[in-house]
Structure 1
Amino acid sequence: MTSEDHLSFPDAPRVELDEAIAELIAQAERVQSSQGRLRGLLRAVETMVGEIELPVVLRRVVEAAVELVDAEFGALGVIGADRSSLDQFIHVGLAAGDAAAIGHLPRGHGVLGALIANPEPIRLVHLEADPRAAGFPSHHPRMDSFLGVPITVRGDVFGNIYLTNARRGSFSAEDEELLRALASTAGFVIQNARLFDEARTRAAWMTATAELSAAILSTPPDKVFDLIAGRVVDLSAGTRVTIVVPTDEVDVLRVAAARGPHELDLLGTTSIDSGSIAARAMEHGGVRVATAPHVSSRPDPTLLAGDQETGPAMAAPMRTRQRTWGALTVARAPGEREFTALELEVLGDLSSQASIALELSRARSEQHKAILSDERARIARDLHDHVIQQIFGSGLTLQSVALTLDDAHDRSRVDQVIGQLDDAIAQIRTVIFAISTRDGSSLRHRLIDVVAELSGALRRPPALRFAGPVDNTITGPLAEDVVGVTRELLSNSVRHARAHTISLDVGVTEREVSVIVTDDGTGIRSDRRSGLHNLAERAGARGGALTLDTGPDGTRVQWRVPLDGHDTEESAP
C-alpha cells in the first residue's frame, strides 16, 4: 500500500473529536467526584445519627462538615435565648492551647452575627475583605475563605455551621450545597438529641423533687436549706447553687446555704442589693434570669464572675401563701451556656415543691410543739396541784409530830426531814418553771441549760434553787456575769471535787445578787484556785466579794455583788 493510501482524518474533525473525548473524561471525573462527595455526605450522616447525646452530636456535626468539604477549621455556634448572640461555640481544628490563648470564644459579631441576623448561607473567598468582618483578636490563627450555613430545628434556627480555610483554596457552590444538605440532616439529628436530653433532664429533676420533698419532712430545720442546695448542685454540675433568705433588715438578704465554687466564703454573707436576681425573684415571683452582663459596683454574691463579667444565672422564689422562705439560685461561670426554658421550668417546680414541703414541715413542728406544750402544762399543773401540796401537807404533819417529841435528837431528825421536803418543793417549782415556760433567753433557762450541760456525767444532777425575781432583776452584763460564774463554779465541783451531791442557789434580794455552789466533795486544792481568783476580781469590779469555805468534807463558794454595783461589759468565760 502506498503512502497515499494511509487512513487519516481531516484536522478540523479530529480536533473536535479530541475535545469531545476530553469533555467526556472530565464529565466522568466530575461524576466520579460527585459520587465520592455524596458517599462522604452519607458517611457524615451516618456519623451524626449514630449518637443521641446532644454534646456529642454537636461535635460530630462539626467534624463531619470539616471532613465533607475539606476545611482546616470548623465550628458550630448555638444561638442563645436572646436570638442575637451565640450561647455555645463548638470548634474543630483549633488546638486547646491556641483556644486558651485567644481567650473568650466568639459571641456572634461580624460575619457570624450577619448569619444570625439573616439565616442564609454565606460564602466568601476572602473573609477579611468582607465589610461585615469584625477582625480577629490577638493569637487568632489566620482565616481566609469562609462558608457558613444555618441549622434549623422545627422551623427555628438552632445555630450555624462555620467553615474556614478550604484546602483547595476556596469553597465552591457544590461545597455550599453539600453543607446545606448536611445542615438539614443535622437539624433532625439535633432535634432528636434535644428531645432525649429534655426527657432525661425532666425525669431526673422530677425524681429529685419527689425525693427532696420526702427528705425535707425528716430533716432538722437548720439543715434543710443545705439539703436542698446539695440536691440541686448534683443535678446541675459545674454550677454555684445558693439559697438566700430575708433578714430583719430591709433589702438585706443572707446566704443560708451554698454549694459550688467558694461555698465556704459565701455561707452567712449578706447582700444589700435589692436589685439582685434573688431579690427580684422573691419580690415579683416566678423564675428570674440574670440579665446584667458586667460586674456591678455591688456584685451579687450568688453569681459567678470573672474578667469584669458575670455568668448566666437563674433564681426561683421559695414561697407559699403563708410566707416567703427565700430564693434558690443557680449560676454558671462566664462563657458557659445560658439556661434553657426547660431548666427554668424544672427549677421553678422543684422550688415550689420544696416550699410546700417546708411549710408542711413547719406545720408539723408547730403541731408537735403545741402538743408538747400542752403536755408540759398538764405535768406542771399536776406537780403544782398535787405533788407540791402533798409534800407540803407532809411537812406540816411532821412539824406537828416534832412538837410532840421530847427527845431533842428525834426532833432534830424530823426537822432535817422537813428541811429536805422544803428543798424538794423548791426544786419542783424550778422544774415547773422549766417545763411550763419556753423563753430560752431568760436567766433561769440559761442557768438550767448550764446545769444540764455540766451534769451529764453525774449520777445525781445538781439541785437548783432560785430565790427572788431573778429574771426581772438580773439582766444585761450582770446576767452574763452570773451565767459565767455559775459555769465556773459548777465546773470545779463536777470535775475536781468528786462530790456525791452538788447544789446551786441563785438569789436576789433588795440589795444584792448571790450565787452559791455547795458540794460534799474533797475540797479545792490551793493549786486549783486560779479560776476563783478571776471570779473574785469580777466580783470586786462590781463592788462585791467572793467567799470560800472548803475542806475535806466539802466546799461552799459564794459570789455576791450589790445590785447597784459597777455595770461592766465583761462577758462570761
Structure 2
Amino acid sequence: MTSEPPAAEPAAEFSAGVPGLLEAMRAIGTDLELRSTLDRICLIAAELSGARYTAIGVMDEAGDDYREFVTYGRAGDLLERIGVPIRVRGRIFGHLYLADRRDGAEFSSQDLHMMRVLATAAGMAIGNARLYEAARQRERWIDGSVAVTTALLSRGEAGDAADPLTVVAEQARRLAEADAGIVLLPAEGGGLEIVAVCADTPGSRLGAVFPEDSPIVSALLDGESVFLDDAATESSRSDLADSYGPVMLLPLESGGRVLGALATPRARGARRFTETERILAAQFASQAALALMMAEAQRDRERLAVLEDRDRIARDLHDVVIQRLFATGMMLEGGRKDEESAEVRTGIGRAIDELDVTIQEIRTAVFALQQDTSEEPAGLRTRVLREIKTAAVPLGFVPAVRFVGDVDSAVGEPAGRNLIAALREALSNAFRHAHAGRIEVTVDATAALPDGTPAVRLTVADDGVGVPEGGRRSGLRNLTRRAEALGGSSSVETGVDGAGTTVLWQAPLGTGAD
C-alpha cells in the first residue's frame, strides 16, 4: 500500500531526538491490528527521519518471503536509503526501510540509531499484533466449527434443507480464505469423488473421481493431511487441485474412521497457508467429521423411530383390522347362503366385494409401511415371498413356491407390480372359496405368449373344491383386466370332478401399464 503523508499532519508532531522517539514507541503499541500497526510504523519512521519514503516488510512464518509489505510516501531515485532488521528475541520478523530525505541530505548515524530503536519497538508491536491475529483466527475457526455442528445437527428444523456436506465446504472456504471448499467421499469403485463444492463455478468439478492409486488419495484415506505450496508446479502430487496454487487437503476422520476428505485451494500466486492455518484447518476437519457422524447417527435414530412406528401400525392393520374384515366377510357369506331374497343376496354380494377390495387396499398399505423408503425397492422374488408369507396367516399353511429364470432382472417393474396384485387376488380367492390344504405357486420368467413374445407366467394351483357354481367372479375379472392391460392373458381351470383350481396369469416381460 502506498500513500502520501497527509498535508494537515506536520512533521513537527514528532520532534527529533529521544522525546520524539519515546512518544513514537508509545504510539506504536496502541494498535493490535497488524495492518494498521504497520501503517503507523511507516508514518512514524518517516516523521522521525524526515524520509520521503518508508517501507516495512513482515516475513511469513517460514521466514522465506514477505507476508506483508507496506509503504508510505514516494521515493525519488532511492540511492540514499537505510534498511534495518526487525528482531524479536533474536528472530528476524521483517525489515524497516527509509529512503530519500526531504532536505536532500544523507541519512546520519543518529537516523540509523533511531531506526534501530524504532525497529525494536516495531518488533514488539508486530509480535503482539501477530498474537492478537492468531487469537482472532483461532476464534474464527472455532466459531466455524460450532456453526457446522449446529447446522448439521439442526438440519431439517425450521425447513432447513441445506446439504450437510455443502455446509462443510462453505465454512471451510470462508475460514481458510480459499478460492474453493471441496468435500470428497470414497467412490464406489475406489478413490475419492467430489460430492460438494463451494466455489464461483462449482458445477464443473462435481462428480469428478480421483483414483485410489494417487499418492494424495492414498495419504488422505490413511488419515494423513497433505499440504501443497503450489499445486500447479507439483504435478506428480497435485491431481486433486492442479489448477490451483497453495492447497490444504485434510482427511475427514473421527474415531479412527475416515469419512472422506476436505480440500481448500487458493488461486495461483496466492500466499501460502501458514503453520497456524494448517493446524486450525486440521482441527476443523476433525470437528466436521465428528459432526457428520453425529448427524448421521441422529438421522438413523429418527429413521428407526419412524420405522418402528410404521411397523406398529402395519401390525395393527394386519393382526386386527384385516382379521375383523375377514370375519365380517365370512359372516356375510353365511348370511347370503341362508337368505331367500335374490335382491338381498345381490346386495350382500356387493358388500362382500367391497370388503375384499378394502382388505386388498389395507394389505397394500401394510406392505408399503413395511418397506424402508431409504432402501432400493425389493426385487420381484422378495415381493412374491412376502406375499406368500402374509397369505399363510389366514390360510393356516405356507403355500409352496418355485421360481424359473431370473425373475428379478428379467421382469420389468410394471409387469412385476401387476403380477404381485394377481398373486394376491389368486391367494385371496383360494382362501375364501377353495378350502384348500395345499397351494403351489410358480413364477416363470422364461415363458412366452402364443405369438412368441417373452413373458412372465404366474401359476397358482390349489387342491380345493374349485370355483363354486355361480360364485363371485369380480376377483377373476380383475386378474383378466390387469393381464390384458399389459398385452397378456388370464384364465382359470378347474380339475376333474371340480376338484382343484389353477389360475394362469401371464404378461410380456417388459411392457407396462397399470
Q: TM-score, normalised by structure 2?
A: 0.65
Tell me whether 1:188 sits opposite 2:127 in the alignment.
no
Alignment deviations for residues 518-564 of structure 1 (CA, whole Å, 9 cap, x no partner):
xxxxxxxxxxxxxxxxxxxxxx9x789xxxxxxxxxx9992436989
Task: Tell me, yes or no, if the aligned pair for 1:443 and 1:474 is still in contact at 8 Å.
Answer: no
> 1:216: how far off?
1.8
Once the two structures are superposed, the pairs formed by residues 543-562 of structure 1 within 5 Å of their partners are: 558-560=485-487
Does residue 254 (structure 1) correspond to residue 211 (structure 2)? The answer is: no
Among 143, 152, 166, the residue aligned to 1:207: 143
User: Which residue of the partner structure matches residue 452 of structure 1?
Assistant: none
- Is 1:266 the counterpart of 2:205? The answer is yes
Residue 186 of structure 1, CA deviation: 0.2
Decide which of 260, 282, 292 is 1:358's aligned counterpart. Answer: 292
Matches of 1:184 and 1:401, distance apart in 2: 109
Aligned match of 1:226: 166
- Residues 80 and 192 of structure 1, relative CA distance in 2, 3 Å threshold: closer
Distance 1:320 1:237, change over 3 A: closer
Q: 1:535 aligns to what?
A: none
Aligned equivalents of 1:172, 1:276: Cα separation in 2 = 58
- Kept in 2, the 8 Å contact 1:216–1:358? The answer is yes
Q: Partners of 2:269 and 2:174 in 1: how far apart?
A: 21
Distance in 2, Cα, partners of 1:63 & 1:262: 42
Partner of 2:311: 377
SS of the counterpart of 1:262?
Answer: coil
Which amino acid in structure 1 is aligned with residue 170 of structure 2? Answer: G
Q: Which runs of 5+ in 2 are unaligned?
A: 1-11, 381-400, 419-441, 456-480, 490-505
2:219 pairs with 265, 280, 290, which one?
Answer: 280
> Taking structure 1 as reference, are residues 236 and 297 closer, same or farther at Cα in structure 2, changes over 3 Å only?
closer
Q: What is the correspondence of 1:474-485 to structure 2 with a 5 Å cutoff?
A: 479=412
Q: Which residue number corresponds to residue 311 of structure 1?
A: 245
Equivalent of 1:197 in 105, 108, 133: 133
Code of the aligned partner of 2:65: S
1:147 aligns with 2:127: no
Residues 317 and 351 of structure 1 are in contact (CA less than 8 Å); yes or no, is this contact kept in structure 2? yes
Residue 342 (str. 1) matches residue 281 (str. 2): no
Q: Which residue of 1 aligns with 2:227?
A: 289
Q: Which amino acid aligns with 1:442?
A: P
> Percent identity between the aligned chains?
27
CA 1:248–1:483: 2 relative to 1, 3 Å: same
Counterpart of 1:479 in structure 2: which amino acid?
G
CA contact (8 A) 1:242 1:302 kept: no
Q: Residue type matched to 1:205 in 2? A: W
The one-letter amino acid paired with 1:369 is R
CA RMSD of aligned residues (A): 4.5
- What is the identity, as a one-letter code, of the residue corresponding to 1:437? Q
Look up the SS of the partner of 1:158 in the other structure. Answer: strand
Q: Post-superposition shift, 1:473?
A: 7.2
Normalising by structure 1, report the TM-score. Answer: 0.59
2:356 corresponding residue in structure 1: 422
Deviation at 1:147, TM superposition (A): 3.1
SS in 1 for 2:248: strand
Provide structure 1 residue ranges, at least 5 long, that are not aligned to the other structure.
1-31, 96-140, 446-467, 486-507, 514-539, 545-554
Deviation for aligned residue 1:478: 6.1
Deviation at 1:434? 1.2
Give the secondary structure class of the aligned counterpart of 1:318: strand
Aligned residue type for 2:155: T
Asked if 1:159 is matched to 2:79, the reply is: no
Which string of whole-angstrom CA distances, capped at 9 and with x for unpartnered residues, describes residues 340-364 of structure 1? 3333333333332232222222222
Structure 1 residue 69: deviation in Å? 3.7
Task: Work out which of the two has the higher radius of gyration on C-alpha atoms and give 1 or 2.
Answer: 1
Q: How many equivalent pairs are there?
A: 410
Q: What secondary structure sits across from 1:263 in the alignment?
A: coil
| SS of the residue 1:212 aligns to | helix
Q: Which residue of 1 aligns with 2:259?
A: 325
